[in-house]
Amino acid sequence: MPLNRRKFLKKSAVTGAGVALTGAVAAPGARAADEVQGGGTRPQRYAFTVLGTTDLHGNVFNWDYFTDQEFDDKAHNDIGLAKISTLVNQVREEKGRRNTLLIDAGDTIQGTQLSYYYAKVDPITAKGGPVHPMAQAMNAIGYDAAALGNHEFNYGIPLLRKFEEQCRFPLLGANALDAKTLRPAFPPYSMHRLRTPFGREVKVAVLGLTNPGIAIWDKANVQGKMTFPGLEEQAAKWVPKLRSMGADVVIVSAHSGSSGTSSYGDQLPYVENAAGLVAEQVPGIDAILVGHAHAEIPEYFVTNKETGKQVLLSEPLKWGQRLTRFDFELVWEKGRWAVEKAGARVLNSNVVEEDPEITKLLADEHEKVVAYVNQVIGTNAAEMRSAEAPYKDVPIIDLINHIQADTVKQALAGTEYAALPVLSQAAAFSRSAVIPAGEVTIRDVAGLYVYENTLEARLMTGAQMKAYLEFSANYFVQTAAGTAVDPAKLTNANGTPDYNYDVVSGLTYEIDIARPAGSRVTNVRFEGAPLDDAQQFVFAVNNYRANGGGNFPHVAGARQVWSDSDEIRNIMIAWVKAKGSIDPAEFAAVDWKLTRDGTPVF
């Protein structure tokens, strides 16, 4: 979408030129410095607090739409903006509303059936459509700014623009550029003035940075429209500008983890999780609100290589489970405000009640979505669970692969690829998914496939599929033959998330976890015979993986022979509706198993 420069300049005048005035009301007759005994003066000091959330992923209520009950996990965390609102109100009461700012680090409008409903079922983009629940809640709570996350682009740029229009705070993205002009497609920053009792304002700049991986993960939505250069490059461009504009404090809200790693390999010349690199390489930053990685980092300091200054980082846990609290202490010296001390901690949302103003505001939207997800769409002959899916071939994952392969076969019927065998990949996105015996609802199916991925078909060879399986097998912790196997310690080697462990249907194979990574996959067969390296296959694969997510080999460069714009989740719901019933006996099979020296682990 071309940059609307007039709209951008107008918004910059509001958010960028610093007319958002917050802070303690100046005391009448406040003097330049306090008198102390002996006729000297005491330096002027001022303290303020910045509160931060990230990776809210459509959570307003402490509710799990996939289980149709209050959210709970093993750590008894709570979630949602209604809880965050209570924490924010407490801090504002303590510090004074004018001495606080509230910001977010992205991934706001995707992740729950609440956010899905207002993107797809009753979309905010429709003429006279509703206001997005996340916009309503964040407006009511009083956010000052939010960075763009990669999942903001999942539903396309028009929906994101409508969400932006509905927010009473800027969506920031200094490295989200118009593809033609290479100018910012969103406001890069916002400037906030905090009044002090001394008559001297503190100017706080918030620079928003998003994730370069958008170019891969949402290629269909952004290609030719927007480009996403690296965080370090754009921070180095904008931080000096903010300082030259008089910013006393510079805070970066970055939808990027702190580890310095990437899940898309060398497909882009940028780092996915670059927040720590930004702190290390770009001088002039006081603190970074970190997002994207779904990690909890209460307080973390990185030394800037150029200045030697300590840069403060913090990442609150996802979905509104935590709220970061940055506390800054400033001192007036050499004619300007300078940060004298900074610290951070996270506040836990499970120690407070939901803010009744927020739950009342969105009660109708919540009830609509609960009714929607509880619609019965079919029946199931036998219960299926995903709890053991990360280390056993279970029917519930076979269901995903069965539907994907069936969909691709029908799509390719009558084409030059119709005679090729179809393989399919799937991952256990949730270990708590259940398709019950008896009636099956939308939420049962949606709970199995929680992401907005779409389906593609790519051409792969037998040799490429072996490499693909071998890469996937890195997920397992090497476990010697004869030693005890604890399923809780068997998976997620080197921090590999469950969604980056793929199983493939249409082949049979073994994974020898006693062997080192890179040499684990054995006995790979197709239709009972050893797999021919030259054999061609059609591979049913989600767009995240096909576009390089997870950095699996070969698939991103493979020829695309078909793609669909509808979410896999919707394909699955429609499949169950059309068929009317699910019978695991029709598709469940043990295609893969873990072994040690040829002996099955389970």
The string of DSSP letters for 373-439 reads HT-EEEEESS-EE-TTTTTS--HHHHHHHHHHHHHHHHHHTTSTTTTS-EEEEE--S-TT-EE-SEE
Q: Are 536 and 416 in contact (CB under 8 A)?
A: no
Phi, psi of 473 (to 5 degrees): -70, -10
Helix (H, G, I), strand (E, B), or coil: what is residue 449?
A: coil
* pLDDT given at position 28: 30
Distances (CA, A) of 437 to 88, 405, 570, 588: 43, 23, 21, 15
> Helix, strand, coil % (nearest 5) of the chain?
30, 25, 40
Tell me the Cα Rg of the chain.
Answer: 26
214's enclosing H/E stretch is helix 214-217
AA identity, residue 1 = M
Q: Are 303 and 310 in contact (CB under 8 A)?
A: yes
DSSP, res 487: G
Backbone angles phi, psi at 186, to 5 degrees: -135, 160
CB 221 within 8 A of CB 43: no
Encoding tokens for residue 283?
Answer: 């001088």
**Nearest residue to 354 (alpha-carbon basis) of 344, 366, 372, 346:** 366
Query: How far is 393 from 232, CA to CA, in rounded Å?
Result: 42
Selection from 173, 176, 153 nearest residue 163 by Cα: 153
Q: What is the pLDDT of residue 67?
A: 87
Tell me, what's the pLDDT at 299? Answer: 98
Report pLDDT for 233: 97
The pLDDT, as a whole number, for residue 39 is 44
Low-confidence ranges of the chain (pLDDT < 50): 1-39
Q: Residue 53: helix, strand or coil by DSSP?
A: strand
Contact in structure between 304 and 280 (CB atoms under 8 Å): yes
pLDDT at 296: 97
Tell me which H or E stretch contains 571.
helix 568-579
Return the pLDDT at 40.
Answer: 55
